[in-house]
């Protein structure tokens, strides 16, 4: 069973998948390679809940490809996905944002250890407003 944290990121991936599909429907990208890319994206959506660790590299690869292949929608890629998949995805995040997400991850870990509920979005907003001048 997927954790709430994993479920949240699956929802973000699903949202990004919708944006990618719309891009293809608007005929803004080469159809054949786009269709193959969407197939790989769907593969990630299937594999991630089954084996999150095994899917990590595929996720990194696909998120980086979204930014590189589709620069017109790079700003629509949820920042949480960059952090979630980490690795090369982190190159697309400024240092201040990395620091914010590091704090967020530490809070999530502490809540898990104390067996307390953790609301990723709420904590992110709290951290963003408390001293971080972030636009995301």
Enter the tokens of residue 86.
């980490």
CA distance 51 to 46: 9
Percentage of the chain surpassing pLDDT 90? 71
pTM as predicted? 0.86
Burial of 124 (0-12, 13-18, 19+ CB in 10 A): buried
**Which is more confident, 111 or 30?**
111
What is residue 45's predicted lDDT score, i.e. its pLDDT? 96
Q: Look at residue 24 in the predicted model and tell me its pLDDT.
A: 83
Band of residue 135 on the pLDDT scale cut at 50, 70, 90 = very low
Average pLDDT over residues 76-96: 95
């Amino acid at each position: 069973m997927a954790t709430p944290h994993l479920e949240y990121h699956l929802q973000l991936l699903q949202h990004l998948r919708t944006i990618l599909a719309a891009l293809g429907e608007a005929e803004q990208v080469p159809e054949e390679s786009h269709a193959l890319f969407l197939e790989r994206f769907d593969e990630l959506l299937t594999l991630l809940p089954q084996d999150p660790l095994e899917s990590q590299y595929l996720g990194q690869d696909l998120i980086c490809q979204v930014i590189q292949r589709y620069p017109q929608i790079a700003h629509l890629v949820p920042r949480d996905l960059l952090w979630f998949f980490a690795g090369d995805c982190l190159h697309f995040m400024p240092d201040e944002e990395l620091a914010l997400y590091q704090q967020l991850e530490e809070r999530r870990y502490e809540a898990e250890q104390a067996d307390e509920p953790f609301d990723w979005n709420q904590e992110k907003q709290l951290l963003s407003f408390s001293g971080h001048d972030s636009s995301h």
